[in-house]
Amino acid sequence: MRLDKARLVLVFLATITVVASIVSALSFDPRKVATYLMMGLTFSLTSIIVYYRKMEFLASSATHTSLLAVITGLMLEFLTGVQFPVWSLLIGLLIIYLAGILIRRGLEPNNTSAIIVASTSAFSVIGGYLLITSFPVSYNLNSLFLGDPLLLSSRDVFLAFLVTMTVLIIFILSMYEILSLGIDEVSVKLLGLRTGVYDALTYTIIGLTSIGLLRVSGYILQHVLILLPAITASFYSRSGKELILYSITLSLFSCSFGFLLSLQFNLSPTGLTGVVLVAFMVNGVLRRWMK
């Protein structure tokens, strides 16, 4: 009975997601609506990985890393002619891999996160100041902080598509191993699984999502979009499979409904998406308290 109820809720949310997406696509650019939904899917998959691997510390620091990586990438694009997404991904992934190496070498995860957040935040401020004052770059820095899914360029759409497909493929091919590591790392190591490979894949997913989708999600809301889907799903699900389905469905529902509300009320899509996710989380917490 519980399983039937869960399925009905998922079908209901999925139906509203489809309807809201179609309405938005008919009244706005379908490419940008699809890109926003791809963002929702990517963040939900990343959120599942972060939740099971208990890497909230790394996900939070990755958001700060992504801001520094994109700002530095914009300056290097002007100096070298190589497009900034290439530089941003290279720089951002390098920092995230460095954080992973420090953790594997024994540095406490919270201390690692503190070092990364402090250093990247400081250099982001310096880099942003230099970008504004010394580089003739015609790029709206506000979009990095607030997100700008309504004014995406063709390059932004293509980058979001590549990031989504890459994360989706990695998730499908390595989901069992990565989630098993999060549930019982000792047993997995005893079975001889090369944990370093799957740790690297986890860092790659977090890095690609936070850096590649910064323009779409915005720096401020990225923490919410990475952390909340799986955490919220945990209040409604009773198994690992349900958690994955709820996380994906809630994220897509929040994105589609948030985007539609933004068109109706002329507000930020990412902000409204965050509000919808928070509403689901608060409801889940209240339901659990009342039981």
Going through the chain in order, the beta strands assigned E by DSSP cover: none
> What burial class does residue 177 get, using C-beta atoms within 10 Å of its C-beta: 0-12 exposed, 13-18 middle, 19+ buried?
middle
What digits encode the pLDDT tens for the residues 187-220?
777 777 777 888 899 999 999 999 999 989 988 8
Whether the pLDDT of residue 6 is over 80: the answer is no
- What are 2's two structure tokens? 């519980």
Per-residue confidence at 257, pLDDT binned at 50, 70, 90?
very high
Percent share of the chain, pLDDT over 90? 49
Q: Per-domain residue ranges for the chain?
A: 2-290
The confidence score (pLDDT) of residue 127 equals 92
Whether the pLDDT of residue 226 is over 50: the answer is yes
Q: Residue range 153-170: average pLDDT?
A: 93
Cα distance between residue 144 and residue 166, in whole Å: 22
Sign of the Cα torsion 252, 255, 258, 260 reads negative
Q: 268: which DSSP letter?
A: -
Query: What single string gives the DSSP state of each residue in 153-215?
Result: -HHHHHHHHHHHHHHHHHHHHHHHHHHHHHH-HHHHHHTT--HHHHHHHHHHHHHHHHHHTHH
What digits encode the pLDDT tens for the residues 96-140?
999 999 988 888 888 988 999 999 999 999 999 998 888 887 777
The confidence score (pLDDT) of residue 16 equals 86
CATH of span 2-290: 1.10.3470.10
Q: What is the CA angle 183-167-14, rounded to 5?
A: 85
Whether the pLDDT of residue 186 is over 80: the answer is no
The confidence score (pLDDT) of residue 1 equals 40
Work out the mean pLDDT of the chain and round it to a whole number.
88
The confidence score (pLDDT) of residue 2 equals 47
Q: Residue range 157-172: average pLDDT?
A: 94
